[in-house]
Amino acid sequence: MCHMFNGCSSLNSIDLSSFNTTNVKDMSDMFYECSSLKSIDLSSFNTTNVKDMSDMFYECSSLNSIDLSSFNTTNVNDMSGMFYGCSSLKSIYLSSFNTTNVKDMHSMFSWCFSLKSIYLSSFNITNVKDMSDMFYGCSSL
């Protein structure tokens, strides 16, 4: 699913409830620069086998609501830039994320300047090698 909707800047809604993502390993850049996308429901996604979620919502600047509580991130090793430039996102709840195998989180929330609260209580950063600029430009945190 890498680059699947990359650059779909006019996309403002999408129904992905019928997608079978059981065997997907790469969701990087999936919604890259989908700047008109306001909310997205990914509750039907099975992310058990996903290893790469880097830049998944990169520059989704209109995104103000996202529910990732159903995401199984146990096998993910790259979350770099995952929410980079999501400038309309005010809060994000990621306490269900298992980050035990993540090695790269650089720029994960960079330029999320409307972000006022973030719930990372379950984050395990023991194996993370790069956290540079993780919260760069998050002036409202």
Give the range among 47-51, 76-80, 94-98, 125-129 with minimum mean pLDDT.
94-98
Give the model's pLDDT for residue 41.
87
Domain contains 15 = no
Contact 110, 139 (CB under 8 A): no
Say if 20 falls within a structural domain.
no
Single out the residue of 4, 45, 3, 5 nearest to residue 21, CA to CA.
45
Q: Is residue 5 part of a domain?
A: yes
Beta bridge partners of 40: 66
Average pLDDT taken over every residue of the chain: 95
Which domain covers residue 121, as residue numbers?
1-10+25-141
Contact yes or no for 128/107 (Cβ under 8 A): no
pLDDT digits (tens, 9 = 90+) for 90-106: 999 898 899 999 999 99
pLDDT of residue 53: 98
What's the pLDDT at 69? 87
Tell me the mean pLDDT in the region 110-139.
94
**Tally of structural domains, the chain:** 1
DSSP class of 9: T
Q: Is residue 83 part of a domain?
A: yes
Residue type, 32: Y
What integer pLDDT is reported at residue 136 of this predicted model? 97
